Amino acid sequence: MPSYAPPTKDMMFVLQDVLDVQNCDIPGYEDLDAEFISSVLNESGKLAGNLLAPLNATGDAEGCHLENGIVRTPQGFKDAFDQVKAGGWPSLDCDPEYGGQGMPFVIASAVTEMFSSANMAFSMFQGLTHGAYSAIWAHGSDAQKQKYLPKMTNCDWTGTMNLTEPHCGTDLGQMRTKAIPQSDGSFQVTGQKIFISAGDHDMAENIIHLVLAKIAGAPEGIRGVSLFIVPKFMVNDDGSLGKRNNLSVGKLEEKMGIHANPTCVMNYDGATGFLVGQEHKGMRAMFTMMNEARVGVGVQGYSQAETAYQNALAYSKDRLQGRDVTGVKNPNGPADPLIVHPDIRRNLMEQKSFIEGARALTFWGAQLIDRAHRLKDQDADGLVSLMTPVIKGFLTDKGFDMCVQAQQVYGGHGYIEEWGMSQFARDARITMIYEGANGIQGLDLVGRKLGQDGGKHVMAFFDLVRAFISENKDINEAFGKDFLEPLKKASKDLQGAAMYFMQNGIKAPNNALAGSYDFMHMFGHVCLGLMWARMAKASIQVLKNDKSDAAFYETKIATGRYYMQRQLPATGLHLARIQSGADPVMVLEAANF
Amino acid sequence: MPSYAPPTKDMMFVLQDVLDVQNCDIPGYEDLDAEFISSVLNESGKLAGNLLAPLNATGDAEGCHLENGIVRTPQGFKDAFDQVKAGGWPSLDCDPEYGGQGMPFVIASAVTEMFSSANMAFSMFQGLTHGAYSAIWAHGSDAQKQKYLPKMTNCDWTGTMNLTEPHCGTDLGQMRTKAIPQSDGSFQVTGQKIFISAGDHDMAENIIHLVLAKIAGAPEGIRGVSLFIVPKFMVNDDGSLGKRNNLSVGKLEEKMGIHANPTCVMNYDGATGFLVGQEHKGMRAMFTMMNEARVGVGVQGYSQAETAYQNALAYSKDRLQGRDVTGVKNPNGPADPLIVHPDIRRNLMEQKSFIEGARALTFWGAQLIDRAHRLKDQDADGLVSLMTPVIKGFLTDKGFDMCVQAQQVYGGHGYIEEWGMSQFARDARITMIYEGANGIQGLDLVGRKLGQDGGKHVMAFFDLVRAFISENKDINEAFGKDFLEPLKKASKDLQGAAMYFMQNGIKAPNNALAGSYDFMHMFGHVCLGLMWARMAKASIQVLKNDKSDAAFYETKIATGRYYMQRQLPATGLHLARIQSGADPVMVLEAANF
């Protein structure tokens, strides 16, 4: 069975050496000294490694079960959930006004990665609750906040988001769920929602469903959608639970993975709901949830790769197979360990260089989110908003790929469920789909984010890369050659693609849309190239003053060099694909496929 | 539930218009006129679409079960197997001396693709039997052939191959299974074998296991391995079945996919076995099976992509979601079909252009195998031997990727087992692993095949590409620009990589081995580029004389253009990765990962 060891040291490196969190000017960050961060990471890491990880494979094998309308989670889940709650982990970055601990999002992100690596299906209960919490926090009335948030902050009540219906997912304008106003100001919500993660379960006393629906007489399409709080049990004014609401689980889906998280068909049959924010402005509120959720899904993507990698690495050191062609490495054994073989190394380096780059990108993104929220910095908000589809789309595509590669290290054993590598791939697969399938992320990036505020944010990104290159060109020759030159080339490719879209997308939008997926990947590569350059720089700086942990920092530089030499050149391929334009993609009549 | 329609017309196109099978000089090919081929494809296609495809999802859900030592296959499998046998399909290309029909391998390959697309787990019973048949046919004694082949030809008895043991897969030199000579010339075989597909089941009256084992006193390592026939039931001299042999199923593995094919742990406890071929020369015989099996696995890889593509395409025409940005296409519906969206097109074109190229490559490979066998053409043998790891490794990696892409078209529904798209990805995943994990295919290609016979075969491949380009440069301007130029560039990249290996791999073999996986993919792209150029040429030729089916041939050209513009440029990226050499891959100490 696979195991998970929290990568605390790698996280500390990003937070301290690269992002230098304690010394930046974001309110709340001044508390993030090394001792504090490490105590948070060590404690959450213990929980992840010792409590959640052992439940991952058993949860997958057992799955959830629908019994008399109630979903039963796998053995051990409720106990573990209680322990996570007892540690106060769900409330880490929640508002102290509602019982939260008010910590920066960047720290919560590190904890999220660990919990997700250890047991993604389990961590979703908490993640979705946080998303629902955020939507109510941002858009709910004071009374609603007082009523729901204190219980949601630490997952005494969990949350869900209800968007999809059988006939519409991406295109929510087609929504049929109806909300009929009642005389007491509430609404009667009727309709069917599908793909509702954690739609029901036995780990919390109440579930707060956030449901998109159309109020009778609303405008057509997406502009007529409103958001409602629809609790499983009604909440009395004194906070006690009242009667069961008119909603039920219609079905539990059989899925490729995340078996331990129940994906429900939810039926709302005149359920009592309460409008959140303004009528017909539900999408705005839902996007609050979704943007947060998208970053979270990006974390899930690489978090699965992290745990898969750890196990593949251990296997590659343990499994004796064949001999090193350059000379026997394990003369007393029947064969050398797998890790001596160049193609196994290639496989492991792909994983390692991706995962560490992904982590740095995500933590940087979280820092930008903190900057946006805590300093009301609109530039930071614009930049992270630009990078959100990249974090979601690129990190989940690659995260899944890396799980598949890790599985490959095991040979035949990788295909046998008992070894656990299949689960990482099966679980990671959903991250490419939910919270907006990755094709939609590409569209969001190219069709919306690129031109947002007159293209200001993408320009800021390019400026940032350019400034980094020019400010650091004198670090040393190797850094220039190994990091800055490839970054410059990749960034130029990305600019070339943006330029192509500007020149050709205006006359024919399909020229841009046909390249949106490639652009998302290209952007992801440039982001990871930038993060590796930053990590290499930080490592060089540490090594200048302190060689006591030289192997760690030299390994960072070597891993970064791998990324720059073997992964980053993908931007050239993506550019060529983009520049071939819409014609090769669109030329066929649908009937001729 | 997904469906499958045999791509008979696409197959006919490759066989007739591209490979022109009837008019080439291979004995037996003279019978391959259009009417004959189409009757074979239509009949096998009916069986695949109507009988085997409907059992695919049910077989996956039900799986196999071990009951009192006997494996039970899913409902409907035995009946279907009987119908396939009644049609004589397993014996298609078997030796008439043993009841086979003696048809060319190229035709059998087309039938294999269909059966595998329709139901991969089912088709494996037959595929493995054919592999065992071939090994006995090539290496068994006359008496053994007489005894076993007539029953194996048409799957009255099925076959298995037993290589892997718990502690060794790729590195078979570590094998522990022992064979002790008996006074009657037989052997007592004792040991445990794992990952034995179709190791036991209820569809045939006997199972002929081919087992690798070491005879007591054999040389160390791989040079001391012998091959044995170990029947489940002993076979009397009159052909009737005798007593049960001392072998049993130790366990049935739970796998990511191919649930309907039992993957068994096989225990041989002094089982009676019969030596095939010479003592200690078992690997040679096993390679006969394995080379055939590797081409077969390549077919499995793209065959899963084919059926996944068919369903994704149908879904993309059926599912209404969003509007075409260039103008509404379905004004009377609530939204336009998915297929109007450029990113969905990109996804579908990736699949379509890969699958059709893969089919052409495989059929060409099968033609080369026929040429090698039927004309004793050693050049053809060398060329197809060079391409075998490419067909296995590249077509399965990409085949799996394309299943994942097809799943993506379905959005959330792609993740729900009920829709069937998950199964294609889960089933296809094994093709990257078994019959030599794809990393091993890369090693085989670079470490063995590239230099075989002094590099003669890879030179022949380059000559062939060069000759094609020079012979066809006057077809027309568009063909030159759209097909020959990209092919020339990609082939030059491939030669650059081979040159890099020659110059740098001799002084340090890791410089070649660290690039072996990329080289395999690069080679695959060039092969598919060549096949698309051949398909485009054939289409242009047909269109010159006959425009009655213009849309079909123009679609071929457009699909090929997509491949040349959007997939083939990957060779540049692979070359850059290869030319970065061993250093980025090998620089870390194992302890520093």
- Inspect the interface and report whether the beta carbons of B255 and A433 lie closer than 8 Å: no
Q: How far apart are CA B388 and CA B450, in angstroms?
A: 12
Residue of B483, B521, B562, B587 to mutate, testing the A interface (most A Cβ within 10 Å of its Cβ): B587
Chain A residues within an 8 Å CB radius of B253: 416-418
Q: How far apart are CA B223 and CA B383, in angstroms?
A: 26
Mean pLDDT in residue range B522-533: 98
Task: Nearest chain A residue to B436 by CA: give it.
Answer: A411
Sole residue written with tokens 């006074």: B183
Chain B residues within an 8 Å CB radius of A171: 320-322, 335
Task: Nearest chain B residue to A346 by CA: give it.
Answer: B585
A-B interface: how many C-beta pairs under 8 angstroms? 260
For chain B, the average pLDDT equals: 97
Kindly report the nearest CA distance between residue A75 and chain B, in angstroms.
20
Element (H, E) at B231: strand B225-231
Chain A residues within an 8 Å CB radius of B317: 590
Is 0.90 surpassed by the pTM of this model? yes
Q: Which of the two residues, A216 and B88, has the higher pLDDT score?
A: B88
| Domain ranges for chain A | 8-137, 157-280, 452-586
Kindly report the nearest CA distance between residue B186 and chain A, in angstroms.
30
- Inspect the interface and report whether the beta carbons of B432 and A408 lie closer than 8 Å: yes
> How many other β-carbons are positioned within 10 Å of the β-carbon of residue A85?
17
Kindly report the nearest CA distance between residue A485 and chain B, in angstroms.
15
Q: Which residues of B520-532 are buried (b: 16+ CB within 10 A; e: fewer)?
A: bbbbbbbbbbbbb
Cβ-contact B274, B144 below 8 angstroms: yes
Q: A8-137: what CATH class?
A: mainly alpha
- Inspect the interface and report whether the beta carbons of A569 and B573 lie closer than 8 Å: yes
Q: How far apart are CA B549 and CA B559, in angstroms?
A: 16
- pLDDT digits (tens), chain A, 593 positions: 899 999 999 999 999 999 999 999 999 999 999 999 999 999 999 999 999 999 999 999 999 999 999 999 999 999 999 999 999 999 999 999 999 999 999 999 999 999 999 999 999 999 999 999 999 999 999 999 999 999 999 999 999 999 999 999 889 889 999 999 999 999 999 999 999 999 999 999 999 999 999 998 999 988 999 999 999 999 999 999 999 999 999 999 999 999 999 999 999 999 999 999 999 999 888 877 777 789 999 999 999 999 999 999 999 999 999 999 999 999 999 999 999 999 999 999 999 999 999 999 999 999 999 999 999 999 999 999 999 999 999 999 999 999 999 999 999 999 999 999 999 999 999 999 999 999 999 999 999 999 999 999 999 999 999 999 999 999 999 999 999 999 999 999 999 999 999 999 988 999 999 999 999 999 999 999 999 999 999 999 999 999 999 999 999 999 999 999 999 999 999 999 999 999 999 999 999 99
Minimum mean pLDDT among A290-294, B482-486, B572-576: which range?
A: A290-294
Kindly report the nearest CA distance between residue A532 and chain B, in angstroms.
14
Chain B residues within an 8 Å CB radius of A320: 167, 171, 174
Q: How far apart are CA B369 and CA B381, in angstroms?
A: 6
Mean pLDDT in residue range B314-328: 96
Kindly report the nearest CA distance between residue A116 and chain B, in angstroms.
19
Report H helices in B180-281. none
Instruction: Indicate the pairing of strand A70-72 with strand B247-252.
Output: unpaired
Minimum mean pLDDT among A104-108, B289-293, B295-299: which range?
A: B289-293
- Inspect the interface and report whether the beta carbons of A439 and B344 lie closer than 8 Å: yes
CATH numeric code, A157-280 = 2.40.110.20
Kindly report the nearest CA distance between residue B344 and chain A, in angstroms.
8
pLDDT tens, residue by residue, B33-75? 999 999 999 999 999 999 999 999 999 999 999 999 999 999 9
Q: Can you name the residues that pair with A71 across neighbouring β-strands?
A: A66
pLDDT of residue B366: 96
Q: Is the ipTM of this complex over 0.90?
A: yes
Task: Nearest chain A residue to B580 by CA: give it.
Answer: A565
Chain A residues within an 8 Å CB radius of B339: 590, 593
Query: What is the phi/psi pair of residue A44, to 5°?
Result: -70, -35
**Is B290 a residue whose pLDDT tops 90?**
no
**B331 falls in which pLDDT band (50, 70, 90)?**
very high
Token pair, residue A24, equals 């930046």
- Inspect the interface and report whether the beta carbons of B593 and A313 lie closer than 8 Å: yes
> How many other β-carbons are positioned within 10 Å of the β-carbon of residue B499?
11
- Inspect the interface and report whether the beta carbons of B408 and A433 lie closer than 8 Å: yes
Chain A residues within an 8 Å CB radius of B586: 342, 345
pLDDT of residue A288: 72
pLDDT of residue A458: 97
Does B253 qualify as catalytic in the annotation?
no
- Inspect the interface and report whether the beta carbons of A256 and B425 lie closer than 8 Å: yes
How far lies A579's CA from each of A500, A511, B74, B273, in Å? 7, 8, 50, 62
Chain B residues within an 8 Å CB radius of A587: 558, 561
Please tell me which of the candidates B174, B433, B565 has its beta carbon nearest to residue A415.
B433
Chain B residues within an 8 Å CB radius of A414: 433
CA dihedral of residues B31, B36, B41, B46 (deg, nearest 10): -140
- Inspect the interface and report whether the beta carbons of B516 and A254 lie closer than 8 Å: no
Please tell me which of the candidates A171, A257, A322 has its beta carbon nearest to residue B171.
A322
pLDDT of residue A459: 97
pLDDT of residue B340: 97
pLDDT tens, residue by residue, B172-222? 889 999 999 999 999 999 999 999 999 999 999 999 999 999 998 999 988
pLDDT of residue A284: 84
Q: How far apart are CA A497 and CA A518, in angstroms?
A: 9
Residue from B306, B350, B356, B435 carrying the catalytic annotation: B435
How far lies A209's CA from each of A133, A254, A435, in Å? 11, 22, 16
pLDDT of residue B286: 81
Q: Can you name the residues that pair with A265 across neighbouring β-strands?
A: A251
Residue from A292, A306, A356, A435 carrying the catalytic annotation: A435
pLDDT of residue B289: 73
pLDDT of residue A471: 98
- Inspect the interface and report whether the beta carbons of A513 and B325 lie closer than 8 Å: yes
> How many other β-carbons are positioned within 10 Å of the β-carbon of residue A35?
8
- Inspect the interface and report whether the beta carbons of A572 and B570 lie closer than 8 Å: no
> How many other β-carbons are positioned within 10 Å of the β-carbon of residue A373?
17
pLDDT tens, residue by residue, B418-446? 999 999 999 999 999 999 999 999 999 99
Kindly report the nearest CA distance between residue B353 and chain A, in angstroms.
10
Residue of B62, B413, B415 to mutate, testing the A interface (most A Cβ within 10 Å of its Cβ): B415
Residue of B318, B573, B589 to mutate, testing the A interface (most A Cβ within 10 Å of its Cβ): B573
Q: Is A588 helix (H, G, I), strand (E, B) or coil?
A: coil
Chain A residues within an 8 Å CB radius of B551: 589, 592
